[in-house]
Amino acid sequence: MRPILRLLNDELVERIVSEARDVLCKLGVEVHNQGVLSMLRDHGARVEPTKSRVFLTNTIIDQALDTAPKSFKLFDVLGNETHDFSDNNIYFTPGSAALNILDYPHGEIRKPTTDDYVRYAKLVGKLKNIASQSTAFIPADVHEKISDSYRLYLSLLYCEKPVVTGAFSIEAFAIMKDLQLAVRGTEEELAAKPLTIFSCCPTSPLKWGEVTSQNLVDCAASSIPVELISMPLSGFVAPVTLVGTLVQHTAETLSGVVISQLANPGAPLLYGGSPAIFDLRYETTPMGAIETEMIDCAYSEIGKFFGLPTQAYISLSDAKQLDAQAGLESAMGATLAALSGINSISGPGMLDFESCQSMEKLVLDNEICGMVYRLIEGIEPKDDFPSLPKFEELLREKHLLISEHTRRYLRGEFYLPGQTIDRTNRTRWQGEGGVTLLARAHREVERLLDEYSPSRLPESIKREMKKLMEAEARRHGMKGLPKTNW
Amino acid sequence: MGRLAEILNHLQQGNSEMVSNLTRKAIEEGISPKEVLDRALIEGMNIVGKKYGDHEIFLPEVLLAAKAMYAGMDVLKPLFLKEEVPHRGRIVIGTVQGDLHDIGKNLVGIMLKGAGFEVIDLGNDVPPEMFIEAVKREKAMVIGMSALLTTTMPVMGKVVELLRQEGLQDRVKTIIGGAPVSKEFAQEIGADAYSYDSANAVKSVKELVDEVKERYGGNP
Ligand code: B12
């Protein structure tokens, strides 16, 4: 049986949804984008132009929910299927867009460079339980105007997995789409085999900025999947209660579903988010708080109530180092997310309120994800009944180490983590140098990087992407791109 | 308990009505407005700010106390001659161009206001020139800038540079904040201060304002 967690009963889900609809129809949402406002007006929404406020109707909302796909797939750069966002399937993706990277071994933070990004992309390619890349941080050695597209470029060059990403401006969308077209060949092929997911964030409370609403429309028009990332902060720019925050999250996310589906009915999307409680003592947005994780799991239930695939920023930590807090918060989040069937689980590698990526943590989190995958497989009988023959064998042989049953099921029944997780006895652990978690994780990072083999994307495509990216860099006054060889 | 101590007490509890009533009583009893302001209202907010910084109380309590302080101020204001309505200093604050993250900036603004500063909030996505125009127009002593994106941090440097070009760098101090910036970054671009949260921002802005006042007197 697949274990499933539920935090809301049906009645509460329906009440939250009906309150959210009320908010959208009676209070409306602010949309700071003329094109999007007129699109909404053309479809029957009332617009108050001076305040850029638009009042939705239940008909518009229902239509959007009707056309939004109930599932969709992702494909790697070679065109192989990697993700099927449907039912309770789960996939992990690293936390994205960190400001800093945590340096080994001293645990200092610094702004990342192209070299760091390349190492990261290579590493993600080797992590079995991380299904996609994300554009995890911003290389500081290129012009800020290309910092979003350049991450995508490096990702597509060095790693075959699909990419969770996002644009920082309206203009950047063009090059970020062109890079994908270079990989897929044609518009049709890109629409048929999505390669990326773009984050599109409403601003709490109940507002869409010009850039993100345009990104949302542009992605929809090209059938590029989006994840709607609403971030109500409970107690500050959202009600302090989890239910109140859920009403706001539902309203903000539904408004995104509407914009996307009006732009292109059937455009793929994830019902997602990155809400957090607001810690009124430290003025921070803890992602590892249990209440933050409860909000995530609960809105995923609401997304599933609409029949939509879901996403959340949930398996990450606010710790500053790879310490016990980092492990406990990430593991708790990953476990709850998996039990809730959140389809795209964002967070691995991330520390410090979504602002710091660590390669060593990514390797540890990969193990957490492995354990969690095992958890959701649940407990199933495997040639266990009738039991008597096995127990007769055990009593006769005194052990089952070489039993046929053991050999058949050992590998599937247990998830055997890599060397980052210590399962040696103390004497052996001491004998091998008493290596700490951080050092073990680092060793694993280096081992996996040594094993790296280049992406099998054809050279001609890599060269074409390079040309596109160089032209974009020149457009912004850069002479060239930092040196890389793939 | 003396009248001022009473006000101080109710202010810390965030009781606007009592602060307003007691301020009125204090004036009736002949205590000077200046004294009520300095020794009860401002002093009360100093204590509240310190308690918040020490995590003895939480944000909602600070904001309620600030509201109570303004209730007292409303009583005092008509008693001051127009040109001497006391404020601790005028600050222009905004999130820099290209950046829409304004939650942290808003919080810093609220806390500065609560501490008795006059805050001119330019909103978000603010171009460098607009900061300069605003300080000139408002005769502000401090510019507070916020950035949450790696890509928008450099705009802060431009504002500092423009201020220098206008020869205003001594009269107008700059303070920056936001997740990607740091003390080192502030030094790098020549900003005068950096703060990591709102309680710390209040403390730093006080120091900056005092510095300007010492040089140029109350109204630069
Ligand atoms: C909430 C949020 C949003 C909201 C903002 C809503 C709003 N009205 O502000 C929305 C959804 C709109 C948003 C949008 C985006 N965001 Co955002 N966002 C955040 C998040 C989660 C929290 C920020 C926050 O409000 N924190 C709470 C406040 C209280 O803290 P604070 O801002 O740090 O402020 C405190 C101190 O820094 C200081 N301070 C702040 N300002 C000032 C000013 C002065 C003068 C002083 C003295 C002190 C000071 O005091 C404050 C109070 O304690 C951060 C993650 C993070 N940890 O920072 C990402 C984050 C900043 N966002 C990020 C990104 C990528 C984006 C988008 C580009 C996403 C997209 N693709 O659309 C867009 C950009 C839009 C734009 N052009 O600005 C990245 C930045 C990546 C980078 N390397 O630059 C972050 C780090 C998250 C991540 N890893 O992806 N975001």
Q: Does A108 touch chain B (CB under 8 A)?
A: no
CA distance B20 to chain A (A): 27
Closest C-alpha to A349, from A315, A312, A375: A315
Q: What is the mean pLDDT of chain B?
A: 92
| pLDDT given at position A63 | 98
Helix (H, G, I), strand (E, B) or coil at A23: helix
pLDDT band at B119 (very low <50, low <70, confident <90, very high): very high
From A102, A196, A201, A233, mutation site for ligand 1 pocket: most ligand atoms within 8 A of C-beta: A201
A254 vs A260: CA distance, rounded Å: 10
Sort B108 into a burial class: Cβ within 10 Å, 0-12 / 13-18 / 19+. Answer: buried
Contact state of A280 with B59 under an 8 Å Cβ cutoff: yes
Helix (H, G, I), strand (E, B) or coil at A168: coil
Q: Are B108 and B52 in contact (CB under 8 A)?
A: no
Domains in chain A (CATH in brackets) are 67-377 (3.20.20.480)
| pLDDT given at position B88 | 82
Q: Does B110 touch chain A (CB under 8 A)?
A: no
Q: Does B43 touch chain A (CB under 8 A)?
A: no
Number of H helices, E strands in chain B: 10, 5
CA distance A129 to chain B (A): 30
Q: Is the pLDDT of residue A155 over 60?
A: yes
User: Among the atoms of ligand 1, which is closest to the Cα of residue A202?
Assistant: 11
In this structure, the residues whose C-beta lies within 6 A of any atom of ligand 1 are A 96-99, 138, 166, 168, 199, 201, 203, 211-212, 231, 283, 285, 353-355; B 93, 98-105, 107-108, 144-146, 148-151, 175-180, 195-198, 201
For the segment A99-113, the average pLDDT, to the nearest whole number, is 94
Q: Which of residues 344-363 of A touch B (CB under 8 A)?
A: 353, 355
Q: How far away, in angstroms, is A177 Cα from ligand 1 center?
A: 25
Q: Is the pLDDT of residue B1 over 90?
A: no
From A292, A355, A356, mutation site for ligand 1 pocket: most ligand atoms within 8 A of C-beta: A355
Contact state of A144 with B151 under an 8 Å Cβ cutoff: yes
pTM, whole model, 2 decimals?
A: 0.95
Q: Which residues of A touch B198 (CB under 8 A)?
A: 283
For the segment B140-148, the average pLDDT, to the nearest whole number, is 97
pLDDT band at B83 (very low <50, low <70, confident <90, very high): low
Dihedral (CA of B86, B88, B89, B91) sign: negative
pLDDT band at B220 (very low <50, low <70, confident <90, very high): very low
| pLDDT given at position B85 | 66
Task: Tell me the pLDDT tens digit for each residue of B191-216.
Answer: 999 999 999 999 999 999 999 998 88
pLDDT band at A307 (very low <50, low <70, confident <90, very high): very high
Closest C-alpha to A342, from A371, A314, A379, A367: A314
Task: Tell me the pLDDT tens digit for each residue of A409-442.
Answer: 999 999 999 999 999 999 999 999 999 999 999 9
Q: Which residues of A touch B149 (CB under 8 A)?
A: 168
Q: Give the range among A131-145, A311-325, B19-33, B68-82 with minimum mean pLDDT.
A: B68-82
CA distance B62 to chain A (A): 11
Contact state of B180 with A355 under an 8 Å Cβ cutoff: yes
Q: How far away, in angstroms, is B101 Cα from ligand 1 center?
A: 5
Q: Give A115 or B83, the one with higher predicted confidence.
A: A115
Q: How far away, in angstroms, is B146 Cα from ligand 1 center?
A: 10
Query: φ and ψ at A98, to 5 degrees?
Result: -65, 155
For the segment A314-318, the average pLDDT, to the nearest whole number, is 97
Q: End-to-end CA distance of chain A, in Å? A: 44
Task: Tell me the pLDDT tens digit for each residue of A180-224.
Answer: 999 999 999 999 999 999 999 999 999 999 999 999 999 999 999
Q: Does A419 touch chain B (CB under 8 A)?
A: no
Q: What is the mean pLDDT of chain A?
A: 97
A205 to A32, A282, A443: CA distances (angstroms): 13, 21, 44
Q: Which residues of A touch B62 (CB under 8 A)?
A: none
A72 vs A270: CA distance, rounded Å: 9
- Name the percent of chain A lying above pLDDT 70: 100
Q: Does B154 touch chain A (CB under 8 A)?
A: yes
Q: At B59, which amino acid appears? A: L
Q: Does B150 touch chain A (CB under 8 A)?
A: yes
Q: At A88, which amino acid appears? A: N
DSSP designation for A103: P
CA-proximal residue: ligand 1, atom 79 (nearest): A97
pLDDT band at A302 (very low <50, low <70, confident <90, very high): very high
Interface with chain B: mutation pick from A143, A283, A354, highest number of B CBs within 10 Å: A283
Contact state of A283 with B107 under an 8 Å Cβ cutoff: yes
Q: Is the pLDDT of residue A5 over 90?
A: yes
Q: How far away, in angstroms, is A392 Cα from ligand 1 center?
A: 64
